Structure 1
Amino acid sequence: MTVLWRTARLLLVLLVVTFLSYALLSLLPGDPVGQILGGAATEEARERLRAELGLDDPLLVRYGAWLGALLTGDFGTSYITGIPVLESLADRLPVTLELLLAAQAIALGVAVPVAVAAARRPGGPLDHALAAVSFGLLSTPVFVLGVLLILVFAIRLKLLPATGWTSITTDLGWNLTSVLMPAVAIALPETAVYSRLLRTDLISTLAEDHITLARARGLAPRRILWRHALRPSAISLVTAVGLNLGAMIGGAVIVETLFGLPGVGRFIVDSIFARDYLAVQGGVVLISVGYVLVNAAVDLVYTAVDPRIRRA
């Protein structure tokens, strides 16, 4: 029953999100006809192409036709490039997945030890310094962080490329070089969120009875933190990782455009400017499915992190 309910909820979310995105795109001025024919085309040619593409049909009719094709696995064909949308998304998805995984790895790799260090002496100089840095990162937009990283590491120090992408199958070293700055730009605000959240939960866990018992048994403070306090304190962190995936996807749209990465986010932005409705809808479906599936996976991770949830 739970699986059926989650599947129904997923379908409902997809239906609402895709319809709203389709409706918002229809409100934008212009259409793909101008991009296809150019500015010199006659009005008669424009009207004829609109009729061929079905752009003169009512919104619900166009959305229904698109949805019916989607149910058969057909994402449509781009108005501009003539390439199937699913093929274009498949080419760009590995870039976005690598970017998001790298950003999550950097965020968690920095946030966990930082949170543990701050929780060992709450209210101390290190805790206050980390809090100030975290608030600064949270208040800085992703595109500003991206520009600052380009200014420092690409222009001033000339250590990393400002734009461009190298596939992991072409050259692993250059691939890591090209993904590092974009991933750091996305990861920095998430690092602040994760570290502050885990620090608060660790402080609360360290005040519980089983931690007091562990101290009475003479266990080392380091072992108590990493072995006995970290795991039960990670529930909120797991939740934040799942929920912040949506924010990371939004950041990926900006970062991919800023750093010139050929990912799904940049594909959606380019398609919006070109009024390529089918391409935008395909990207929205892909992101929506990924977001909902990740949050469903978070529920399963809960049981691995805290066995009490599994028994309940």
Structure 2
Amino acid sequence: MPTNTPASVAPPKNRPPSVQIKPLPGNVTANTPVQITVIADEGVRWKWIPADQSWDSEDFVTYTETEVDIPGVESIRDHRGGGGTYSVTFPRPGGYTVSAAGVTSDGARITADPVNVHVSPAGPPVFTWAAPADGTVVDLAPGGASLEVVLTSADQYYPLSVDITFDGMTTTQQYSGSEFRKTVALAPAPLGTRSITVKCTDPDGRASTQTRSVVGHDGAPPTVTLDAFAGDVEVASLPYRLTLTGTTPGASSGVTEVRYSVANGPSGAAVNTAAGGDLSTWRAEIALPTTGTFALTVTATDSRGGTASASASITLHL
């Protein structure tokens, strides 16, 4: 029988040593322990045994230490050999890189491919709505009013996206600090209670929402005056045409309309006679169809819906 030799019997293929970080579970949450497993393979190499005329295997390396590093989180040095499972707690949400290596008995380092880990927050962002307080009264001018929205947050998973919804519109802005300030322009109307909603969204899309109310107050309420006119008139024929004139604050109060009404009689809109077209002076032509006493009311309305009225009466007889 021929003698086997290394040349006549092909050796099995060597397997080099390797270190691997086992994939982490799908959801990693801040401040919740997670297990990180490092697998250290010693590898296999084959050597010829002349006495047996065969190949025999042995470990390629012997591990004496395992290193696991997560910048800003953990630096583990395990001297119990190669590989292991380690409990790690990520303190904050965000992106992290886990690296690992096995140190051999001859001082060589066999490194694993790094693993990127995304850590989610434990819940949606938490914020404190510092201003305005719920129920804040806001003076509305003809052009509306400015309102500062102030938020604070210790969440630190930035940037947060802040949506402020008011008057049927939404503004969006990002911020990455402990305090957020945004001045919004409130519409001049309506008066009374209106809602403002703030939504904070973190980079993972988790959101928290708060809603408050502010109370719109007419900061420049209208007034209206009636110029003097004869209150007792002897008429020759009917209908009698009564001309009323008067004044309002006009643009300074945002007056948008002046209307007249006659008790049990006609009503309508006065016409502007002011050069600037702001109804600071006005005129109304009213046809009174019969004799008797008529109660008259003139009402000015501003852009916020605020009103003011003036009243008078006139008596007609033949």
TM-score category (smaller protein): under 0.3
Larger CA Rg, structure 1 vs 2 = 2
- TM-score scaled by structure 2? 0.15
Question: Counting strand residues as a fraction of each chain, which structure ranks higher?
Answer: 2
Question: Counting helix residues as a fraction of each chain, which structure ranks higher?
Answer: 1
* Structure of greater relative contact order (alpha carbons < 8 Å, 6+ residues apart): 1
- TM-score scaled by structure 1? 0.15
